[in-house]
């Protein structure tokens, strides 16, 4: 079910963070929710902070294993900058401790790589439905 | 030396990668131990260094033809050298990262490094023997090499 969108409601702004160009392009190409607009992307945590400050996204997809600054550290920074931001971790790291760590730092969801197009869109839809001030 | 259960983690990770990412299963052969030489590489190799509970490396190596078809199956339309490097690194990263489901958080993996052109200019741990997991996907041969102490 789509997120209700009134005429005056702006689309949710999405930033994509992954050190793989391939994955960044895939997420951008595959996401098919009309409620979302991709406003920026970054290849590591430090770049993500810069793009975040510039584009003010509502939603973020976040890889964890990245150079410069990893995803867990980046999540903590982003949540400090904007506590209501919703972050979907998209990572190959499949142990429970990492997922718990990410959630405790402020992530809202976790999607394991590899993922199908359908799994990605379902995870993004779930993220978009979370009330903004939850 | 890895035991059968530990190797199964990598076999299952490889099977899962092709089933989900490429939506077409690969045939994954029985792992074998390389005793007298290096395991060899194809045209592109994505290398993950491992530290923590285990140390060493895991690499995925494949010919350009396999990576090209894999990218096509993922709806990618850029087949540049850079994208091939990205793809082979992402496969290695995904299979290694998934191994933490069994190995736990102390199985620490690096970001991928990639070598191409059939280069074997990277160090294998000298005191441990590598296992090769043979992969066949759509008639293309590739391999996952697991060399952990």
| Domain map (residue ranges) of chain A | 12-129
Q: What pLDDT is recorded for position A134?
A: 46
Across the interface, whether the CB atoms of B76 and A26 are under 8 A apart is answered yes
Give all strands (DSSP E) within chain B, no chain letters. Answer: 27-28, 32-33, 44-52, 56-62, 107-109, 113-116, 131-137, 140-148
CB atoms within 10 A of CB B119: 12
Q: Which residues lie across from B28 on neighbouring strands?
A: B135
Q: Domains in chain B, please, with CATH?
A: 4-148 (3.40.1550.10)
- The minimal CB distance from A29 to the residues B75, B95, B100 is found for B75
Q: What is the ipTM of this complex?
A: 0.91
> Chunked in runs of 10, what are the mean pLDDT values of chain B (149 residues)?
87 95 93 90 97 95 97 95 97 96 95 93 89 96 96
- Distance, CA of A91 to CA of A64 (rounded, Å): 6
Alpha-carbon span B128 to A29, nearest angstrom: 42
The Cα–Cα gap between A90 and A57 comes to 17
Question: Per residue in A22-59, pLDDT tens?
Answer: 999 999 999 999 999 999 999 999 999 999 999 999 99
Average pLDDT, chain B: 94
Strands (DSSP E) found in chain A: 12-17, 36-42, 59-62, 86-91, 109-112
Q: Looking at the DSSP assignment, which residues form a beta bridge with residue B57? A: B49, B147
**C-alpha angle A21-A23-A26 in degrees, rounded to nearest 5:** 110
Digit-coded pLDDT (tens) for B115-134: 999 888 888 888 899 999 99
Report the CATH fold assignment for A12-129: Rossmann fold (3.40.50)
The chain A residue lying nearest B17, using CA atoms, is: A114
Q: Which residues of A touch B90 (CB under 8 A)?
A: 20, 22-23, 113
With beta carbons under 8 A apart, name residues in chain A contacting B105.
95, 97-98
> Would you list which residues of chain B are within 8 Å, Cβ to Cβ, of chain A?
16-17, 20-21, 23, 71, 74-76, 78, 82-83, 86-87, 89-90, 93-101, 103-105, 107, 109-111
Q: Find the Cα–Cα–Cα–Cα dihedral A61, A63, A64, A66, rounded to 10°.
A: -130
Give me the pLDDT at residue A3, please.
56
Q: Output the tens digit of pLDDT for each of chain A's 134 residues.
A: 555 555 456 799 999 999 999 999 999 999 999 999 999 999 999 999 999 999 999 999 999 999 999 999 999 999 999 999 999 999 999 999 999 999 999 999 999 999 999 999 999 999 998 776 54
């Amino acid at each position: 079910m789509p997120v209700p969108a009134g005429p005056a409601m702006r689309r949710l702004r999405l930033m994509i963070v992954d050190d793989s160009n391939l994955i960044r392009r895939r997420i951008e190409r595959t996401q098919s929710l009309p409620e979302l607009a991709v406003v920026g992307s970054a290849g590591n945590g430090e770049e993500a902070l810069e793009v975040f400050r510039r584009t003010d996204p509502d939603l973020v997809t976040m890889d964890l294993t990245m150079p410069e600054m990893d995803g867990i550290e980046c999540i903590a920074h982003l949540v400090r900058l904007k506590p209501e931001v919703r972050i979907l971790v998209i990572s190959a790291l499949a142990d429970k401790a990492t997922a718990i760590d990410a959630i405790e730092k402020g992530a809202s969801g976790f999607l394991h790589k590899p993922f199908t197009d359908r799994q990605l869109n379902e995870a993004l839809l779930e993220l978009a439905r979370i009330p903004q001030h939850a | 030396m890895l035991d059968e259960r530990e190797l199964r983690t990598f076999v299952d990770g490889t099977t899962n990668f092709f089933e989900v990412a490429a939506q077409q299963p690969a045939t994954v052969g029985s792992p074998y131990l390389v005793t007298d030489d290096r395991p060899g590489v194809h045209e592109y190799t994505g290398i993950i260094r491992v530290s923590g509970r285990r140390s060493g490396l895991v690499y995925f190596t494949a010919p350009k033809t396999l990576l090209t078809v894999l990218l096509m199956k993922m709806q990618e339309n850029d087949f540049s050298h850079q994208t091939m490097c990205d793809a082979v690194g992402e496969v290695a990263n995904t299979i290694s990262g998934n191994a933490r489901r069994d190995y736990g958080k102390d199985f620490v993996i690096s970001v991928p490094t990639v070598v191409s052109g059939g280069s074997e200019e990277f160090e294998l741990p000298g005191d441990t023997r590598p296992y090769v997991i043979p992969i066949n996907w759509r008639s293309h041969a590739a391999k996952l090499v697991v060399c952990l102490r």
